[in-house]
Amino acid sequence: MIVEQIPIGKMANFGYILGCEETKVGALIDPAFEPEKLILRAKELELDIEWILNTHGHFDHIEGNDVAVKMTGAKIIAHRNAMFYTDLKVDHGDNFKIGNIDVNVLFTPGHCPDEICFFVNKQVIFTGDVLFVGECGRTDLPGSNPREMYHSLFKVLSVIPDDIDMFPGHDYGNSSMSTMGFERMNNYVLKQRTEDEFVEFMNTP
């Protein structure tokens, strides 16, 4: 499996290339701002980009979709709540394949109502704007909900084992990626809190 993390744009976003080495089928994750950069790198890796995966509908994650589709003919996969163009809508628990790679969908709203994480080959998870290295996504935006964020972080992502590599949607931490276990130990938003304590914590500037 190929996983490449590529810094894109001026908002510290990460776009990703996910590729199956056996079939040479590839996907772009959140190809905003500089889709050409991701596609050029995918070409170097000899991947045929058939899919675009979007973690959620904020512009800094989807605004390169149109260009990427034009350049590759790829189909767009996003959550069924997505308000932007998609070819395949998915929901919590759904599985799909990128070549021989298994992708499992986790519905994780709280930052954005259509937010999903992609748990790939039971090895890596792409957490979008739910969980960053040392931080979590904002819950003060339109469509945000700190109670849903609590559920996503402490009930949904809690099933992901400690040794799983975590790739976030932005470069906001001390490192560009982490593991779920390291975040559970060190990320201050994942400290044990009741739901009410978490909501108060998120609502305190």
Give me the residues that bind Zn ion (CB under 5 A), please.
58, 129
Least distance CB 131 / Zn ion (angstroms): 12
Query: Contact, 141 vs 152, CB < 8 A?
Result: no
* C-alpha closest to that of 150 among 107, 202, 103, 102: 202
* CB 202 to Zn ion: min, Å: 15
Q: Which is nearer to Zn ion, 101 or 106 (CB)?
A: 106
Residue 23: name the closest of 98, 76, 77 by CA. Answer: 98
Tell me how far apart the alpha carbons of residues 181 and 55 are, in angstroms, rounded to a whole number.
Answer: 22
Q: Cβ closer to Zn ion: 32 or 39?
A: 32
In contact, 179 and 166? CB cutoff 8 Å: yes
Residue with smaller CB distance to Zn ion, 58 or 151 = 58
Nearer to Zn ion, 50 or 129 (CB): 129
The β-bridge partners of 29 are 16, 53
Angstrom distance (rounded) from CA 38 to CA 78: 19
**Single-letter amino acid code for the residue at 68:** A
Closer CB to Zn ion, residue 42 or residue 105? 105
Least distance to Zn ion from the beta carbon of 110, Å? 11
CB of 201 to Zn ion, least distance (A): 19
Residue nearest to Zn ion as judged by C-beta position: 58
For the bound state, the minimum distance from the C-beta of residue 129 to Zn ion, rounded and expressed in Å, comes to 4
Distance CA 107, CA 4 (A): 23
